């Protein structure tokens, strides 16, 4: 495969990438269904327990220091998903959650700049202003789609996700599926401790006892769909094609998230929500796509 061809995904591989985005986007609805019976931190603990076992029996531990795995596990487990699940219990709809949590891209850029000393570019300021405008619209509406607490919790989840990105980047090139599986074991203890502290054993035991087949299927899907298929396929694509060709497809996650929530959960899509969605997506697209588009423009403008 030539360098030029490596930047273009063939149809089957593009379909695989779209399938991953569909799984990750629609999973917000699956999470909401599971939260009907299980307390949020309990659900998060079960998610990571199933992500570790039985996959750890078949996936070898990556050659990464235990401290790095533990840091990633706590940030993603207790941080990102603990906060996200708590917010989705009653303070934000699945569609909006799938959108707001994507602001992790801005947190990741900011953290990377802090480490490298790189200055903020004008296009990044414009991207942040667009996304902030969308978040502001969400915060100003009080129809039950998102409360200030829910918005704050999901933004906190996005920050933890960004910190997790920096941690995984520090680990160097690794098999991402193996990395996620083995870091998951470190997410379980803090989530269990927080669940016992804030939800209580009565709520935990009652939730587990009342969980039906659909709830357990939703929990299992976190390991099978999101972890085994999602991270496995995504890692395979990133190992085969340039990140610039694959990563922009992640913009489709909130598209699938909002669409699935509207279709399956009856989430309303008033004008203000679509406007907020458009602004946040425009900001994300500008922040992710502009460097590549600018490089192409400059390359095309040079004399032969």
d(CA 247, CA 273): 25
Provide the pLDDT for residue 4: 41
Q: DSSP letter string over 48-81?
A: HHHHHTTGGGTSPPPS--HHHHHHHHHIIIIIII
Q: How sure is the predictor about 1, in pLDDT bands with cuts at 50, 70 and 90?
A: very low
**What pLDDT, on the 0 to 100 scale, is given for residue 192?**
97
pLDDT at 114: 80
User: How does residue 2 score in pLDDT terms, banded at 50, 70 and 90?
Assistant: very low
Closest to 92 in 3D by CA, of 36, 136, 32, 39: 32
How many residues does this entry show for the chain?
304
- Per-residue pLDDT at 228: 86
pTM over 0.85: yes
Q: Which helix (H) or strand (E) holds 45?
A: helix 40-52
Close Cβ partners of 258 (under 8 Å, ≥ 6 residues apart): 95, 96, 98, 99, 267, 269, 277
Percent of the chain with pLDDT over 90: 59
SS3 9: coil
Six-digit token string for 233: 């396929």
pLDDT digits (tens, 9 = 90+) for 158-216: 999 999 988 988 888 888 899 999 999 999 999 999 999 999 999 999 999 999 999 99
Q: Exposure of 292 by Cβ count < 10 A (0-12 exposed, 13-18 middle, 19+ buried)?
A: middle
Q: How confident is the model at residue 75 (pLDDT cuts 50, 70, 90)?
A: very high
DSSP 248: G
CA distance 160 to 144: 25
Compute, in degrees rounded to 10, the torsion defined by CA atoms 223, 78, 193, 179. Answer: 50
pLDDT, tens digit, 9 for 90 and up, residues 107-163:
888 888 887 777 777 888 888 899 889 899 998 886 778 899 999 999 999 999 999
**Given this model, what pLDDT does residue 120 score?**
76
Q: What is the DSSP string of 1-53?
A: --HHHHTS--HHHHHHHHHHHHHHHHHHHHHHHHTTTS-HHHHHHHHHHHHHT
- Is residue 76 a contact partner of residue 84, using CB atoms and an 8 Å limit? no
Q: What does the pLDDT look like over 19-74, one tens digit per residue? A: 999 999 999 999 999 999 999 999 999 999 999 988 899 999 999 999 999 999 99
CB atoms within 10 A of CB 103: 24
């Amino acid at each position: 495969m030539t360098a030029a061809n490596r930047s273009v995904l063939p149809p089957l591989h593009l379909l695989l990438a779209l399938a991953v985005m569909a799984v990750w986007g629609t999973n917000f609805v699956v999470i909401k269904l599971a939260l009907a019976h299980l307390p949020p931190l309990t659900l998060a603990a079960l998610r990571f327990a199933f992500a570790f076992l039985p996959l750890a029996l078949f996936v070898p531990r990556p050659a990464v220091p235990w401290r790095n795995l533990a840091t990633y596990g706590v940030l993603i487990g207790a941080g990102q998903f603990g906060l996200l699940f708590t917010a989705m219990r009653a303070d934000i709809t699945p569609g909006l959650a799938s959108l707001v949590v994507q602001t992790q891209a801005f947190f990741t850029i900011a953290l990377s700049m802090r480490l490298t000393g790189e200055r903020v570019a004008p296009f990044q300021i414009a991207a942040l202003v667009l996304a902030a405008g969308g978040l502001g619209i969400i915060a100003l509406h009080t129809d039950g789609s998102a409360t200030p607490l829910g918005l704050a919790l999901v933004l906190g989840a996005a920050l933890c996700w960004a910190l997790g990105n920096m941690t995984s980047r520090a680990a160097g090139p690794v098999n991402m599926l193996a990395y996620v599986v083995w870091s998951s074991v470190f997410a379980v203890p803090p989530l269990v401790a927080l669940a016992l502290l804030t939800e209580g054993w009565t709520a935990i035991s009652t939730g587990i006892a009342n969980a039906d087949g659909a709830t357990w299927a939703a929990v299992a899907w976190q390991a099978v769909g999101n972890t085994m298929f999602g991270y496995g396929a995504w890692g395979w694509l990133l190992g085969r094609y340039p990140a610039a060709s694959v990563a922009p497809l992640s913009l489709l996650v909130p598209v699938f998230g909002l669409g699935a929530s509207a279709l399956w959960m009856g989430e309303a899509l008033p004008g203000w929500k679509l406007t907020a969605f458009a602004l946040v997506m425009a900001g994300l697209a500008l922040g992710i796509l502009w460097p590549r588009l600018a490089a192409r423009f400059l390359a095309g403008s040079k004399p032969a």
